[in-house]
Every structure is written in structure tokens, then in C-alpha cells.
Structure 1
Amino acid sequence: MAAIVYDLLETGNTYPDFRYGLFTDLFGKNSKPYVDASGVARIGPAIDLEASLEIVATQVLGAAPDIALLGLLSDVVSKTYEAGDSKLLQNRLDKVLKDWASENGLPNFPDAFVFANDNQVKAALAPTLVDIEGSLENWGDIGIPLSEERAVVASLAYRGYDVSNIMDAMVFNGDRIAPWIEIRYMDRAGAASPNDAGAARRYYQSAQFELYNNPDSVAYDEAVDVGQAYTGQRNRILSYEKDFNPAEIGLKKDGGRDGIADFLQPAIDAVAQHYFAEVRHADELLFTSGRT
């Protein structure tokens, strides 16, 4: 099996910048607070306001909030909300700030609970990922380096998905292909009711993770690995993409709307080159890659 080669992001701010771009692509920048479909108060790229209120408030206010003010804000975000209550949440938070400014004689105090710019969003996001990043860095006392792959796995763990199988395959087996398949299609096996939004995120996350070490230069052995992995999951993969057509629901950027045939093409080309043959379709790849 071809061992995974990570797309490293170890210089300067390359990793946090890539991770921020990935998270905002997946979950939005959302400078204003909102209530998600599950009734959770959030802001930015799906930051849980109740869990990370002090972190967020520090960015919104430009300084750590007074403990009494933090308590008032906490009372607001901990209330019960339903999807569609975003404006109500915003109004309540804004009222707390305005009342605080009036009662304490602070004419220049912020009167809206919103992020003013990308830097505030990025600064609020990073501390919410400390535990996740620590786990990925030290997984099995080996971990994975700062890389595009790690950012993708972090984005999965961030929303509560169990990444144990993905991490074990990468760290202990040096496997890229099995993690890619799980990232892309895990909803089918791991969620009670897959939906278009979840599938669209998976498609984009898998495109950023990448099926190959280098899709522009795929070795024959790596192509065979891909063909064999596809063979074992073929029916599930095709069924999933029939139910959730990436061309229709995928994010309109960076491979988000590519289907499995698009991702298999580099392997098809590698097998064709190896045998000096014309291999046009995935089924031909499966047949050819099984030859000795």
C-alpha cells in the first residue's frame, strides 16, 4: 500500500490560515450570532456561544468582559431557542450591551454583539480548537503534522464526529484511501438521517483531504490501492452519490461538486499508462488493477 504523504503546512501561519479558510467555507463566517437547526446559539464558523462565550465576547468587545457582563450575556445564550430565532438572539445580546453601556457611563462601548472583521472571527475560532488539535498532534504518541489533512480531520472532530477510525488508519497504517472514503461517505454509516447539507460538507472535506498523495502524479501501486478500495465500497458509494448528487448539492468550489468518477480518473490514467492501454471507465480500472 502506498503510504500517505502529508500536504504540510508548517511554516508561519500557513496552517491556521488554511484551517480558517476551510472552516469558513464549510460553516460560514457568520459575523452575527445565529440559532442553528438544532436550536444551538452560534456565531462565526459554527462556534458554540454557550461553550465559548468568554472567548467570543473578548473579540467582540476588544477586551476580556467584566464578570458581571459575562453573566448577563450567558443568561441570554443559555436560553432555549428554536431555528429561526436568530434575530431574537441578536436583539437580546445587543440589549445587554446597550444597557451595560448606559448603566456604566460608557458612550464608546460596543452596542452590537457582532464580529467586526475576519481577524476577530479567526481569533475566536483558534482557542475553540486547542483540545482537538492537541489530540490530533499526539494521537497514539505519534500524531499527524500540521497539514491540509489534519485541518480536514479537525473540521470533522469540531462538529462532534468520531474520527478514531480515520486517525488510526492514518497514524498506524499510513493509509490515505480508507480515511478519504470514510470522510466522504461516513454519513451513510454513521448518521441516523443523512441530508444534503451534511453530504455537501463531506464532499468538500474529502476534496480538500485528497484521495492521492499527488493527483498529478499517481503511481501504479497507488492506483491499484484506489481501485481495490473502490471495489469493496462500490455499491455503497454509487448509492450514496445517487441519493446525494454532488453535481447538484456540492459546494461550488475546489472539487466540491466532483463525483467519484472524477476522483477515480487519475488512477484510471495511471493504470492505462502502466499497461499502455486505453482505460476509460471505473469498471475497466477495477478489472485491469486486478491483473498481475
Structure 2
Amino acid sequence: MANPKESDVLVIGAGICGVTTAFFLARHGHKVTVLERGNIASEASGVNAGGLGGLGWGNNPDLQSYLTAGSFEIFKSLQLDMGYDIEFIAPGGLQGVHNEEQWDWVRDRVLNYQTQGYHAELLTSREARAIEPEASESIPGFMYLSKRGKANPTKTTVAFGEAATALGADLRIGHNVEDMNQQTDGSWQVQANQGIFSAKTIVLAVGAWSKPVGDILGIDIPVAPVKGQMWATPPMPPSIYHLSGSMESAYDWDCQTPDANFPPDITHRGNTRITRHLYGGQSGNGEIIFGGDRQLVGYDYTPNANGMK
């Protein structure tokens, strides 16, 4: 009888990247084990707005097209073809344009997208209100992306975990990886708090913990943890129909001068806000969920008003 702690591939982390990796590997006949120190979707994969897709495939799909439009199709198939209820819908997305400088910048961006065969439009506020009645009339307009969608992030991650398990993957929660060592034959031995596991290949799907896990292997993975916050209302009647957001952060980040001593695409320097990264929508149970700030404060889980104003 084979040792149940041996596998072809050992995936560390059971967020959305870990469980989808396990699912596709298992579907292609590989023996897969997933180790997760907490629970499935217990970190960022379970607390986000669930946005999907973007601009469509375009005339010449690149990596970004496959990651966005391709993921959209995979999530769609999970619900429609495999029967998992992940609250997948495809309403499109609206991003607010707040002033004339942003309007000119977004206009040029939309024209560039359209010449490449992507699906993007620039709408006036009046035009936007025809499809989203609560859209603000006090700003110049919105960028509309018809190929955007959303799904419940926790339900989706759990569903992929269940689908991977149904194909034979061994998903173990409460297994914290403490050490990893490569053997002379090229395989790996991984020490967890609940035993030793071996595999021909390991996959790191640990998100914000990539750097400390990389340190175990003696490699520098340039990933920094950032703190994002979301707020939610009590369940309300349907009132927001699109995945919604703001163009403010995209515009500001594009205009910023790169700083080698500071990570890109951050919303705060210390306690000072430098831009607002805002997105969200209304969930299937009626909650209106918005947020998206990125604060460079390490592994800090404490909510604070500075990241929600």
C-alpha cells in the first residue's frame, strides 16, 4: 500500500490559487496533496469583492487576457457546467471617472483598448444611469466593461476545493508547513505540524506569506503583505447591479514616478492617503460590499477607520 503522505505534487496553501491548481492537476491525472495551515479561503481568497474578467479576449490575446477572460470562463463553467452555486453573474462593470483630467486619460485608454479588439466604452453619467440607476450624476462619467462579472469568493474557493477532492486530491486543513528540503533525487520532503509529506514537485500558493515561505527555501520572493479593508451593509433590496469602482487609483498610479524603495500600487504612505482604490458591488444576499485600500502595514488584521474613509 502506498504511503498516503506521498504525492506527485504538493500544493502549499488552500486559497483560490492553491485549490484551482490542485483541481486542474487532479483533472489531468496527477496525485495531489494540499496543505493549508488554517481553513480553505480563510485569508484574502475569502474576503474580497469577487470581481472577474475585464476587457475580453481582444484580437491577439496576451497573458493578461488569459488570466482575466480565461478565469471568467473557468468560473462560469464551475457554476453552469459543474453545478456549483458560486453566485456567478456577468453584469459588466462600471468605474467612475471623477474629473476632466481623468476623463481625458480614460478616453485615450478606451480608444487604445478598442483598437485592440477589447470591450470597453466611455459613458457619460447620464448614459451610465440608463444601466445603473444609482450611478452618480456629479462626476463626468464611467468606463464600462461589458465583460466583467463576479462570484462569491468564499463559495468559489470552497467549490474548487470540493471539485479537486472529488477528483482524488488530498486536501488537509490545519497543516502548517515548518520546513522543506530537497532530496538527492530532486524530490521534496516537507515537514508540517502534523507529519512529513513527500512529493516530486511543490507548488507555493501562499499569497502574502510568499516571502517567509521562500526564506525556508533560501530564495527571495519579492512579495510584501498589504492590508486591505472592506465594509458591508446589512442585506438590502437590489440597488447596485454592476461590479462598480473608481478610476482614481489607476489614474494616480499611472501618473506616479516609480520609487525603488516603495512597492507600487499602494494607497497609503504611513497614515497618509495618496489615492483611493475603490471597488465592490452587491452580493447575492443583498449586502453592499465596498473597499480595496492597500496599506503597507504587514500582517495586521485590525480594522481601522484610516483605511475606510
Q: Give TM-score scaled by structure 1 length.
A: 0.28
Greater fraction strand: 2
Larger-gyration structure (1/2): 1
The answer to which structure has the higher helix fraction is 1
Greater RCO, CA 8 A, separation 6+: 2
